[in-house]
Structure 1
Amino acid sequence: METACYLTDLPPTAATPADLAELIQGHWAIENRLHLIRDVAFDEDRHRARTGNAPQNFAILRNTAITLHRQHGATHIRPALRAGNRRPERLLNLLPETT
């Protein structure tokens, strides 16, 4: 059995225990979905960067890559990443234009 504690700024009358459980489950559903994509697409669990800011920095880069591909219509990230590996010049088209 595992015990978890959660903090909220909601007043006690704003949410029932069932409401809070739903919020917590929704948070973890999103968290698990994001982690699953990063793990499948980038094999994140086997990555060796584990010290300092490296894990967070790599996660930011991976999330950015996923977001850019999604913004350009990719629904399956692994094939989009492979296509970018084959034709890296196409990756520049994913970046937003700046003025």
Structure 2
Amino acid sequence: MTSMATEKADSKTLLELVRGHWTIETSLHWVRDVTFDKDRSQIRTGSAPRVFASIRNLAISLLRLHGFKNIASGLRKLSWNAELALAMIGV
């Protein structure tokens, strides 16, 4: 279902919209859910859930900006190299 006008909702346009949605799902939400195991998080009170979501997003963004394609691999590499992790945030 879509609110697009019939003349604009051709098969090519709809396919691009669906693929665009799944690109976001696989590149960000999947990383949050699987790599950070977000669904099992027990952080539920006050502003803590939002704060931790922001921290996760920051970590993902920093890794991607520094050329890491695989976030889990990047996190492992940084866990072994504190100097690199600090350098990424400018410390």
Q: Distance in 2 between matches of 1:68 and 1:93?
A: 11
CA distance in 2, matches of 1:79, 1:73: 12
2:86 corresponding residue in structure 1:
92
The 1:55/1:68 distance shift into structure 2, 3 A limit, reads same
Change (3 A) 1:31 1:54: farther
Q: Which runs of 5+ in 2 are unaligned?
A: none
Q: Which runs of 5+ in 1 are unaligned?
A: 1-5
Match of 1:29 in 2: 22
* CA distance 1:93–1:46, shift in 2 (3 Å): same
What is the aligned partner in structure 1 of residue 72 from structure 2? 78
Once the two structures are superposed, what CA deviation does each residue of 1:38-95 show, in whole Å capped at 9, x if it has no partner? Answer: 1221111111112222122111111111111111111111111011112222211112
Q: Which has the higher helix share?
A: 2
Any residues of structure 2 matched to 1:56-75 within 5 Å, and which? 56-75=50-69
Q: TM-score with structure 1 length normalisation?
A: 0.66
Moved runs in structure 1, 4+ residues, more than 3 A? Answer: 15-23, 25-28
RMSD: 2.8
| CA distance in structure 1 between the aligned counterparts of 2:84 and 2:32, rounded to whole angstroms | 21
- The amino acid across from 2:50 in the alignment is Q
How many residue pairs get aligned? The number is 89
Amino acid at match of 1:69: L
Give the TM-score taking structure 2 as reference length: 0.70
SS of residue matched to 1:58: helix
- Percent identical among aligned pairs is 37
